[in-house]
A and B are shown apart, each in its own frame.
Chain A
Amino acid sequence: QVQLVQSGAEVKKPGASVKVSCKTSGYSFTSYYMHWVRQAPGQGLEWMGIINPIGGGTSYAQKFQGRVTMTSDTSTSTVYMELSSLRSEDTAVYYCAREIRVGKNWFDPWGQGTLVTVSS
């Protein structure tokens, strides 16, 4: 079955960077775009960006431009999201989600989430 398994929780200091991984299995990795979405504590869902696993083409939300980098490794069927210059407002659960695109498009499934805590 399709699985997205993310790396474990992280605690970072302000100004540091964090890199979250999302290892996929059960489907053709290069056939589906991948997205990253985050959710601050008690808040809603915020779209961060998209990566095409073939070639690594990306598009990021303007809010994260210059701070976020999404990459893919086809040899391990894994995508990564790195966020730099962390501040307390970046404390959130970060999700990867596979995009299904058949005319219309939606996210299914999602990874289990990775909690990133930014604290001095």
Chain B
Amino acid sequence: AQTVTQSQPEMSVQEAETVTLSCTYDTSESDYYLFWYKQPPSRQMILVIRQEAYKQQNATENRFSVNFQKAAKSFSLKISDSQLGDAAMYFCAYYGGATNKLIFGTGTLLAVQP
């Protein structure tokens, strides 16, 4: 069965600094998708970034980028120039065709210090 692990329950970063959130997963599938979602205090789930497993190039979205290591089954999120609005719970998620559903990690609560 597929699993997603986020080993950092909480992280803190200074405003304007860079932070990296870790995520590892386990799967036997070769074709799948990985996502990072942000859940601010409003609790609305917001897609931050997605990565297709067949793409070797790491996805980037403005200040957000990922380090996708397929062989190591690692999918970390880097937030550059952190802003106060980045403070939220971040969930790593996996989607594969075998289950047709998202599998979430336990989340990392990110605090941004002014």
Report if A and B associate in a common complex: no
